[in-house]
Amino acid sequence: MSTTRALAYIKGAVGFWGWYSFGYWASSRIYPVSADWWWLNQFGFCGVFALGIALALVVARRAALPGKAGDWIALGLALLSLLILNQNPLKDVGLPLLLLGTAAEGWFSAWSIVRWCSWYASQDAKENLVLLLIGIAATSVVKMCSFALPSFLHPMLFGAILVFMTLSLQGLKVSERPVPAPREGYTLRSIGALWQTILSIVVFFLLWSFLNAVFTLNFGHIAGNGGLSVALVLGTQAIDIGFSLFMLWWVLRKKRSVDWTQFWHIAYFLLAVGLLTMALFGPTRAVQVFLSASSELVFMFLVYFLIHLGRRSACPPALVIAIGYAVISMLDWAVRALVFSEDAGFGDAAFAPVFLFVILATIVFLLPARSPGMHLLTAELQDHVQNPAGFDDQHCHDVGRAQGLSARELEVLVLVCRGRSAPYIAETLYLSENTVKTYRKRIYQKLGVHDKQELIDLMEQQEDC
């Protein structure tokens, strides 16, 4: 890979790792004062502001956030938040100023998510995957840097990241239209077909948010946490860096497809190992190695999933992404607020077996080997917006109708001609994969072909006639 191409990837991926890096640092700073002000958490502000952005888009009837001036305003608020939250000890800042810093970070996160993800939604799914994997590795590097640097240097590190994010975004054209044709977009009914994937995300965040709030170990955040050893920090990040580098090699060098079901199995497995360690040895610092590694993977996947929904939805991507991020943020805030307000806590790890059972049930029932939602994400990486031969849908429809195909067979034929996979067709037409394969077999028989290549050759021949 050329240096120019590598720099372009880093510039495109900064939306992933820049937002997450600054967000986790801010969260690690706010945690120590959460016991005094249980409602004070940037996730609550993120949710409120993201919902406000969604409402503003609806009222203004816009498909994307207007102008680039908002990026610089968001940057200014982020730098203000950085200066306030970097004070030590933070309690001495006072509630009004602390509230301002937390709200400023919440606005920056909400704005950045919608702006960056709107651009990602206009890109190819495989390009998003590569940028996501680079983002995971870069985030881990930033975590290690923030742990190694003294706290007074954090403003320089994160200030540089925030400026780099804004400058990178200024050079990107945020499209108001998703990649696929609008008629292929999700509806409320088809989004309901993804309930397994959505519920898997919700369950993970419920468990992870609860664990973060209950223990003083500050799971998932390592910046400035003096109780952690260098070995634990390196161990935590080695898992995520190793995963992202392997996946990049798998996708770019081996040119293989990605099964998102296995991705989630890894994330839940790491969470389960952390809970098992807690059950056996208590809430030791070593537990963070597994919980932090799993949380980074799931947070990144969440953003990718919102991009997928935005790209495939009949609604503007920015609106879908803003609503999705608002829901997850408010859920995260609600769990943490409940724990802090009720002063919930455990002197031992007796609840760990219960959480392990929840994880097992999630993997078995919500993440089966053929989970429709996960396979649709996998199919998206293999799909092409245009059909491989370049002929239009109407031509496929006319040829099929001339050969006596039924209305349902014509729908399947058009999608097959576009190069769509069986999982994608099944989700689009609300059919099972076996039914799709049966329809495809009948189509081949009626058209006198044996495989997809012969079908394409037939379409080309008919087009020349």
Residues 229-258 have pLDDT tens digits of: 677 778 888 999 999 999 888 888 776 767
- pLDDT value at 303 more than 60: yes
Q: Residue 432 above 90 pLDDT?
A: no
459 vs 465: CA distance, rounded Å? 10
Q: What is the pLDDT of residue 220?
A: 46
Taking only the tens place, the pLDDT of each residue in 25-69 is: 888 888 778 777 888 888 899 999 999 999 999 999 888 887 788
Confidence of residue 181 (pLDDT cuts 50, 70, 90): very low
Mean pLDDT (the chain) is 81
CA atoms of 260 and 349, how far apart (whole Å): 31
- Give the pLDDT of residue 419: 73
Q: Which of 53-62, 224-233, 299-308, 455-464 has the lowest mean pLDDT?
A: 224-233
Q: Flag whether pLDDT at 100 surpasses 90.
A: yes
Q: pLDDT per residue over 350-362, tens digit each?
A: 677 788 888 888 8
Nearest to 102 by CA among 171, 173, 32, 187: 32
Give the pLDDT mean for 140-156: 87
| Cβ-contact 121, 307 below 8 angstroms | yes
Q: Taking the CA of residue 200 as centre, how many other CA atoms within 13 Å lie in the half-sphere pointing to its CB?
A: 29
Which of the residue ranges 38-47, 133-142, 200-209, 224-233 would you say has the lowest mean pLDDT? 224-233
> Residue 354 CA to chain centroid, in angstroms?
27
What is the pLDDT confidence band of residue 113, given thresholds at 50, 70 and 90?
A: very high
The answer on pLDDT for 177 being more than 50 is no
What number is the average pLDDT over the span 195-206? Answer: 84
Is the pLDDT at 105 greater than 90? The verdict is yes
Question: What is the rounded (10 degree) CA torsion for 359, 364, 365, 369?
Answer: 130
**Above 60 in pLDDT, residue 263?**
yes
DSSP 8-state assignment for residue 286? T
CA distance 164 to 226: 28
Q: Which of 190-199, 212-221, 247-256, 349-358 has the lowest mean pLDDT?
A: 212-221
Percent of the chain with pLDDT over 70: 81
Cβ distance 297 to 136 under 8 Å? yes
- Neighbour-count burial of 226, counting CB atoms closer than 10 A to its CB (0-12 exposed, 13-18 middle, 19+ buried): exposed
Sorting pLDDT into bands at 50, 70 and 90, what band is 382? low
pLDDT at 226 (0 to 100): 46
Cβ-contact 140, 241 below 8 angstroms: yes
Nearest to 135 by CA among 329, 311, 268, 296: 296
> By mean pLDDT, which of 1-5, 94-98, 224-228, 383-387 is the weakest?
383-387
- Length of the chain, please? 465
Q: What is the mean pLDDT of residues 189-195?
A: 69
User: Mapping DSSP to helix (H, G, I), strand (E, B) and coil, where does residue 260 land?
Assistant: helix
| pLDDT at residue 186 in the model | 63
Alpha helices per DSSP H over 122-185: 125-148, 154-170
Mean pLDDT of 306-321: 87
Query: pLDDT tens digit string along 20-37?
Result: 999 888 888 887 787 778
Express as a percent the part of the chain with pLDDT over 90.
Answer: 25
Residue with tokens 């109407």: 394
What proportions of the chain, in percent to the nearest 5, are helix, strand and coil?
75, 0, 25
Q: Which two tokens stand for residue 55?
A: 């409402």
Q: Is the pLDDT of residue 149 over 50?
A: yes
pTM: 0.79
> Binning pLDDT at 50, 70 and 90, where does residue 345 land?
low
Q: Is pLDDT of 217 > 70?
A: no
Average pLDDT of the segment spanning 425-446: 83
pLDDT of 178 > 50? The answer is no
**What is the identity of the amino acid at 251?**
V
Average the pLDDT over 280-305 and give the result.
80
Nearest to 93 by CA among 37, 22, 145, 38: 37
Element (H, E) at 329: helix 317-341
- Residue 182 pLDDT more than 60? no
Half-sphere exposure of 463 (CA within 13 A, CB side): 15
CA nearest neighbour of 313 among 131, 175, 129, 190: 190
Q: Residue 33 has what DSSP assignment?
A: G
Question: Any bridge partners for residue 376, and if so which?
Answer: none
Give the C-alpha separation, 37 to 333, whole Å. Answer: 13
For 23, 24, 88, 118, 127, the CA distances from 43, given in Å and listed in that order, are 9, 11, 22, 20, 28
Measured CA to CA, the distance from residue 274 to residue 347 in angstroms comes to 17
Q: Residue 115 pLDDT more than 60?
A: yes
**Distance between CA atoms of residues 244 and 300, nearest Å:** 11
Residue indicated by tokens 């009222």: 59
Q: What is the pLDDT of residue 227?
A: 53
